[in-house]
Amino acid sequence: LAFVLEHLRERHPGRPIGVIGFSLGGNVLLRFLGAREAEARFLGACVAISVPFDLEAGARMLEETRAGRFYGNYFLRSLKGKARAKQRILAPVVDLARVLGARTIREFDEAATAPLHGFPSAEEYYREASSAPVVSRVRVPTLILHAADDPFLPPEAIPRKDIDRNPWTLGAVTPRGGHVGFVEGGSGATRFWAEREAARYLGEVLGR
């Protein structure tokens, strides 16, 4: 993320830059904003939608709830497919049989995600990569949209107090909306609330 943003700044000097992050991408964005404040200060505005702020709590919810297991299995099939497609590259680095035999997202993270990114375990990866501990340190105008019924994160894991107390972050937690959903309107008039609000926020802040 830092590399891409710096490339954009060099390519478009003086132009305001806004960033939108969805789901795990939103977690990466908030982690960058809060943990690497000096590198992020040139950004004009950001939006983070449906962020799994606490990766440990999110992984646990994917294992323990019916909706979580449904989505977890879906993502696991996709991740294993990507691992198979890159098995010649991955085989010297990870235990491929263990990766393809993972039964949960946590097991996949333990076998693949953690070692590929230099973490000794999934637990360490979850602790070091979660954005909740650094939300209070964000110093770029940032809109955070989340739904209390998000199947990827228990509502008590949303860092509401840190979001509310930080003058740089504006949070909206809706009762419903699911994970990157926020669909409104009936048949033939479907609208996506989060995308509309994200565009409106970025337009307003960057326009200043």
Q: Are 206 and 45 in contact (CB under 8 A)?
A: yes
Active site residue 78: no
User: Kind and range of the H or E element at 19?
Assistant: strand 18-22
Q: Are 53 and 159 in contact (CB under 8 A)?
A: yes
Active site residue 23: yes
Per annotation, catalytic residue among 7, 23, 121, 149? 23
Q: Which position has the token pair 């940032």?
A: 142
Active site residue 95: no
Per annotation, catalytic residue among 109, 130, 162, 179? 179
> Rounded to an integer, what distance in angstroms lies between the CA atom of residue 98 and that of residue 185?
45
* 3-state helix/strand/coil string of 128-188: HHCCHHHHHHCCCCEEEEEECCCCCCCHHHCCHHHHHHCCCEEEEEECCCCCCCCEECCCC
Per annotation, catalytic residue among 7, 150, 162, 187? 150
Catalytic positions, please?
Answer: 23, 150, 179
